[in-house]
Amino acid sequence: MVRLVDVATMGVPGVPKTFHFLAGLPRSGSTVLAVILNQRPDVYASPQTDLLQVMHLLESQIPGLESHRAGLRREGYANMVRSLGETFYADVDVPVVIDKNRAWGTPYNLRLARLLNPDVRILATVRPILEVLASFVIQARAHPETNFIDAAMARTDFYPAQYRPIDDARCDWLMRPNGEIDRAILSAAQARAHPGAFHLIAYDDLVSDPVETMAGVSRFLGLDPFAHDFDDLREVDVHDDEAAFGLPDLHQVRPELARRSPPPEDVLSPYVLARYGPTGGAYPW
């Protein structure tokens, strides 16, 4: 299923690529959206990558270089940062690449995205925060000895884990300032300031009306219509979630698109429902 350049052709330039981006909240359908997009022969939608971080690391080191401080070949250094997308995806021989990172939409990273494509297009999946938290709690309960949330709370001596029920502490950790969810919220919030650059995709819409939802995605990206199969979903990139997160089923995609999650009220405590529900905070969707 993965459309990669044969090893014998490595080093031979592939087709020119147009870069788009996939952001959004965790547990909001971004993985299944990538699986659906990968049914197209002209698209490769990645799993979560660190291309963004590599671009940031390289760019942050350049100002300290002697030749850059002297004003020499500064455009060359800018070209190096721009070229990282083509280099990172040199083995992917399709014309449209959608790189997934939940932070693509944040203000600093929007500028990096425009280095790869000045006409930036960011898909951002969104979902009610309580549903996101409930999904994580269910996963953590199933793997109490290995899940990354409990491991991170222990490693950082997260105080609420000492005095709140474990599921409440898990939610507080997930919602900590500058954490992954907070960063994803900031990213999606930029849609208001950059009309035309973002396309928000509600999890409910993807599950309940996938045909129209994917038609909207195609229109936003400027792609030809495509007849997706929502009853035979197959992953292109298999995540080793147990090694990375201690949650072996975190990114599992079932063959048929359907909602299976219980209501958050059946999973979360009154404390979490009140603190992170609709009355506890305003979100941009």
- Return the closest-CA partner of residue 171 out of 252, 277, 266, 244: 277
In-domain check, residue 138: yes
Predicted pLDDT at 264: 96
Judge whether 285 lies within some domain: no
State the pLDDT at residue 234.
Answer: 86
The total of structural domains in the chain comes to 1
- Residues 174-233 have pLDDT tens digits of 999 999 999 999 999 999 999 899 999 999 999 999 999 999 999 999 999 999 999 988
155: in domain: yes
Judging by beta carbons within 10 Å of its beta carbon (0-12, 13-18, 19+), is residue 92 exposed, middle or buried? Answer: middle
Q: What is the pLDDT of residues 59-81, one digit of tens each?
A: 999 989 898 888 888 889 889 99
Least confident of 161-175, 213-227, 233-247: 233-247
| pLDDT grade for 281, boundaries at 50, 70 and 90 | low
* Residue 247 in domain: yes
CB count, 10 Å around CB of 260?
Answer: 7
First to last CA, the chain: 34
Can you give the pLDDT at residue 175? 97
Give per-residue pLDDT as tens, 95-144. 999 999 999 999 999 999 999 999 999 999 999 999 999 999 999 999 99
- Which alpha helices (DSSP H) does 62-209 contain, by range? 66-69, 74-88, 107-116, 129-142, 148-155, 160-163, 166-174, 180-189, 203-208
- Residue 192 belongs to a domain: yes
Give 242's pLDDT tier (boundaries 50, 70, 90). Answer: confident
Task: With respect to residue 125, please indicate whether it lies within any of the assigned structural domains.
Answer: yes
The answer to whether residue 1 is domain-embedded is no
Q: What is the pLDDT of residue 280?
A: 53
The CATH number assigned to the domain holding 122 equals 3.40.50
The predicted-structure confidence for 17-37, as pLDDT tens digits, reads as follows: 999 999 999 999 999 999 999
Task: Tell me: pLDDT of 5 over 80.
Answer: no
Residue 134: which domain range? 7-276
In a domain, 271, yes or no: yes
- Please report the pLDDT score of residue 12 as a whole number: 42
Q: Taking 90 as the threshold, does the pLDDT of residue 245 lie above it? A: no
Is the model's pLDDT at 255 over the cut of 90?
no
Residue 1 pLDDT class (50, 70, 90 cuts)? very low
